[in-house]
Amino acid sequence: GGSLTIELTHFEKDFRSKQLIKDAVLDNDFLKNLESTQIREVVECMYEKPVKAGHYIIREGDAGQDLYVAADGEFEVLKDGTTLGKMAAGRVFGELAVLYNCTRTASVRAVTDVRVWVLDRRVFQTIMMKTGLQRQEEN
């Protein structure tokens, strides 16, 4: 710990997966204004994780560690035990706690067996910082 930045590891993925992640980011109000180089890094650094039906991916009130893109299956967003809505593949979620350093505003549950793309907040922050530093070096 204590290090400001971490190594960015790229995870291999097919073209369709890259396109799905990119489209999900561009569809998200909080992320769509990232620079194209930052979006490309986000796409490369996400890794895949399967989650079984019924399992919680995010629990309301927890400290946020990761942000996600729904890759496959059906998801449910809940607040105080009440369903706010359902989500399918191609949606970003868990971005609020990562971007705003707040606790999770809702829970997200896998309705079916699902797959998610995951990005650690430290990786996200490193991507944001790296691009900022590159910009400084150009000046």
Instruction: Report the nearest approach of ligand CMP to the CB of residue 125 (Å).
Output: 15
The residue (of 24 and 39) whose beta carbon lies closer to ligand CMP is 24
Which residue lies nearer to ligand CMP by CB, 84 or 89? Answer: 84
Closest to 62 measured CA to CA, from 111, 110, 119, 101: 101
83 class by beta-carbon count within 10 Å (0-12 exposed, 13-18 middle, 19+ buried): exposed
Our CB check for ligand CMP shows the closer of 40 and 121 to be 121
- In the complex, which residues of this chain contact ligand CMP (CB under 6 A)? 58, 64, 77, 84-85, 93-97, 104-106, 108
Judged by beta carbon, residue 96 or residue 128, the one nearer ligand CMP is 96
Residue recorded with tokens 């989650």: 51
Least CB distance to ligand CMP at residue 95 (A): 5
| Cβ at position 107, least distance to ligand CMP in Å | 7
**Considering only CA atoms, which of 48, 15, 66 is closest in space to residue 116?**
48
Q: Which residues contact 56 (CB under 8 A, 6 or more apart)?
A: 107, 108, 109, 110
Closest distance of CB 62 from ligand CMP, Å:
8
Cα distance between residue 132 and residue 112, in whole Å:
39
Nearest approach, Cβ of 134 to ligand CMP (angstroms)? Answer: 27
Nearer to ligand CMP, 23 or 134 (CB): 23
The rounded distance, in Å, linking the Cα atoms of 49 and 119 is 11
